[in-house]
Amino acid sequence: MVESFPEFESARVNQDIEDEIKILFEVISEIRKIRSELKISPASRVKVNLLAGEDGCKDVLEKNREYICRLAKTSEVEFKDCTSQKGYIKTTIGNIDIFIYILDLVDIELEIKRIKDQIRRVNLDIEKSKKKISNTDFTSKAPQEIIQKEKGKLYQADKMLKVLNDQLARMESTGK
């Protein structure tokens, strides 16, 4: 017995549910990304506060609080503004502000120092790559693959610098 391959039925797609899942995915991914950047152990539970706009996101987040807790490894999820409170690192996804309490989990001063050291190293790499690329002797004599590789290194270093500057701004905004 041979059946035809099933075909996509657009009538079965529920766009509201798709949008809800997208919001949850983005929030959980952002919390996990911050945990990873700060090297917070997956075994440690973090306290998270969410502040959502008026477009129904808050209802979606409240309804799925348990999933956020489980998948983002949080101890609790509350819905309040922590902008003026110390010890919270803030990030934003769309119109949702995410506040993660890190004071007990991260040595903020040490983390700021580490990020500044990384920024210094990346700036040196950028300077070195720019110098190479702007050197006419290098660009006229080097094979095109080497020049492209150097431009790729410069592009990656610029991206890394942006990420590090964002991390530094978040760490400095913890209020400690």
Alpha-carbon span 135 to 70, nearest angstrom: 53
Residue 171: both structure tokens together: 């760490």
pLDDT tens-digit map of 39-70: 899 899 999 999 987 777 899 999 999 999 99
Backbone phi, psi, residue 167, to 5°: -60, -45
Domain 108-172 falls in which CATH fold? Answer: Helix Hairpins (1.10.287)
The CATH fold of domain 14-101: hypothetical protein PF0899 fold (3.30.2320)
pLDDT at 101: 92
Q: What is the pLDDT of residue 13?
A: 84
93 phi/psi in degrees, rounded to 5: -125, 110
Rounded to 5 degrees, what angle do the CA atoms 18, 20, 24 make? 115
What residue spans in the chain does CATH classification 1.10.287.380 cover? 108-172
Q: What is the pLDDT of residues 107-136, one digit of tens each?
A: 889 989 999 999 999 999 999 999 999 999
Residue 27 vs residues 6, 83, 102, 136, 166: alpha-carbon distances, Å? 33, 18, 17, 47, 17
